[in-house]
Amino acid sequence: SGLPLFADLPGDVNVSFEFFPPKTEKMEAQLWDAVEKLAPLNPAFVSVTYGAGGSTRERTHATVSRIIRQAKLPAAAHLTCVEASKAEIRAVAEQYWEEGVRHIVALRGDPTTPGGKFEPHPDGYASAAELVAGLKEIAPFEISVAAYPETHPEASCPQADIDNLKRKIDAGADRAITQFFFSPECFLEFREKLLANGITAPVLPGILPVSNVAQTRKMAAMCGAAIPDWMDRLFEGLDERPGARKLVAATIAAEFCRSLYAGGVRDFHFYTLNRADLSYAICHLLGMRPVVSNLAGEAK
Ligand code: FAD
């Protein structure tokens, strides 16, 4: 099939891990456990999401600061335009810069009422491209933006969405990270199209290691990603078999990443959902090994 054997993969990949801010002490412990387990893989960066309407603003902030301070990992803060004036965004961004946060994932965000239409704040930014330009005026942040291999649901057509990505890169974004997807070909074709449109910035595939199809279906419905039929078939009958389900999940995700690798992909962004196991196992199969054990970041 042309796919390399896992045993032959040299680990010549760069990975990044995405986390969400924890709501409770128990979730905080879970997040920290994941950060500590993944840190020895020496990620290029990790990132922390931002809740709708700034509902998690403080928690995103606290989580990013703690990861930088304690795990000594380069951490990016996600930031959205939702329900925020330009002045409020400036205040948040300036504080980030002062605290040593150098990387922002700049997003428009979604309306606070699910399914509603995005209405910009009267004194705010109307799109991610505007936010990128605004942030660049505040400080020389490294900036990542979102990309959609299956097209953002609000875009009039795939080309319009690619034009929008181009605007974000032209406004100063350094890279794009994609929404999750489950067809390697879809990403590889998307990457070709971006190159044809003059987008040469790195585009990191967003990898969601699935172990719960029902939960994934809910997430996918919100962002327009397609769940292929084979996914249901591979998880069929495993609801009461968590051990087998996890092995199947790791196999599917590792095979998916191997196909991307065979297509030339060397950067992988993992939606960890604050759990280390699946992402760690996939990185291991891609040939990565821990750089330093227990002393995350000390050797950098
Ligand atoms: P934009 O790039 O502004 O695009 C939004 C839509 O408008 C697209 O359809 C685009 O084609 C269209 N558009 C924009 N400008 C124009 C124009 N001038 N003319 C015509 N069409 C235009 N959400 C959160 O709330 N918190 C997070 O932490 C978060 N993290 C994310 C991380 C990643 C990697 C990804 C892929 C998504 C994330 N999201 C997050 C979700 C994101 O906020 C939503 O997908 C949102 O609907 C779009 O955000 P955007 O930055 O892509 O918007």
16 close to ligand 1 (CB < 6 Angstrom): no
d(CA 42, CA 2): 29
Q: In angstroms, how far is CA 64 from the centroid of its own chain? A: 15
Lowest-pLDDT choice from 98-107, 193-202, 224-233: 224-233
What is the pLDDT, as a whole number, of residue 117?
Answer: 87
Report yes or no: 35 and 280 within 8 Å, Cβ to Cβ.
no
Please identify, by atom number, the ligand 1 atom nearest to the C-alpha of residue 164: 11
Q: pLDDT at residue 283 above 60?
A: yes
Q: Tens digits of per-residue pLDDT, 128-140?
A: 999 999 999 999 9
Catalogue the active-site residues. Answer: 18
Q: Tens digits of per-residue pLDDT, 130-174?
A: 999 999 999 999 999 999 999 999 999 999 999 999 999 999 999
Report yes or no: 97 and 139 within 8 Å, Cβ to Cβ.
yes
Which residues lie below 8 Å from residue 201, measured CB to CB, with a gap of 6+? Answer: 169, 173, 174, 175, 176
Residue 300: which pLDDT band, with cuts at 50, 70 and 90? very low
Q: Tens digits of per-residue pLDDT, 222-232?
A: 888 889 999 99
What is the pLDDT, as a whole number, of residue 219?
Answer: 87
Nearest Cα residue to 120 out of 142, 96, 144, 89? 89
Rounded distance from Cα 108 to ligand 1 centre (Å): 5
Would you say how long the chain is, in residues? 300
146 close to ligand 1 (CB < 6 Angstrom): yes
19 close to ligand 1 (CB < 6 Angstrom): no
The pTM for the full model equals 0.96
Average pLDDT over residues 241-262: 95
Q: pLDDT at residue 113 above 90?
A: no
